Amino acid sequence: MVNQKLLAPSILSADFSNLSQQIRLVEVGGADIIHCDVMDGKFVPNITFGPMVISAIRKITNLPLDAHLMVENPDCIIDEFINAGVNYLTVHQEAVIHLHRTIDYIKSKGVKAGVSINPATPVHVLKEILEYVDLVLIMSVNPGFGGQKFIHSSLRKIKELSNLRDEMGYNFLIEVDGGITKENIKEVSEAGCNIFVVGWSIFGNDNKTAA
């Protein structure tokens, strides 16, 4: 499990006027997961979409849906996203007061539970929750907008998390989101990443399937 390498195109960078076609293009290209960035304009300085859009996406693809909740008080809306058909649901350590309770609730609904940390948040704050989560999402840009440059110090955090996973014998997947390109994906992989969230480097390309 910890040796898996999965590609998760982020629809944040897709053309929403033709989202169905955009998703089919990345499916043909070999995408493993569809990554859905949910933003509320409060926790991050942008507003994207909610469970209605994810429910619509669920009808047009059989790929797993990975919802990343960059919102305040995610506990209030978790059920809506679970009912929309997500397979992975990730909340931010910085936004949840009772993280163990939230993770346990998500898993009780048959959904894979993840926790994410921002670039300025150290890995060690997750130590007490790691044995309970299915994935950890390392933000390698400050969340809110697509197309940002990869923060190089994120590599150190990925390696630290990967080493901690090995030492403790945990099986969570490491996901990385932000600024991943064909130029740096190899070193991100070697640092220990399992799920690569890629937005602009795919959807900003004229040939999205080839990208």
Indicate which residues carry an active-site annotation: 37, 177
Render the burial of 152-178: b for 16+ CB within 10 Å, e for the rest.
eebbebbbbbbebbeeeeeebbbbbbb
Question: Could you give the 3-state DSSP secondary structure of residue 89?
Answer: strand
Residue 39 pairs in a beta bridge with 70
Rounded to 5°, the CA angle 18-21-23 comes to: 105
How far apart are alpha carbons 211 and 195 in whole angstroms?
Answer: 16
Tell me the helix, strand and coil percentages in the chain, rounded to 5: 35, 20, 40
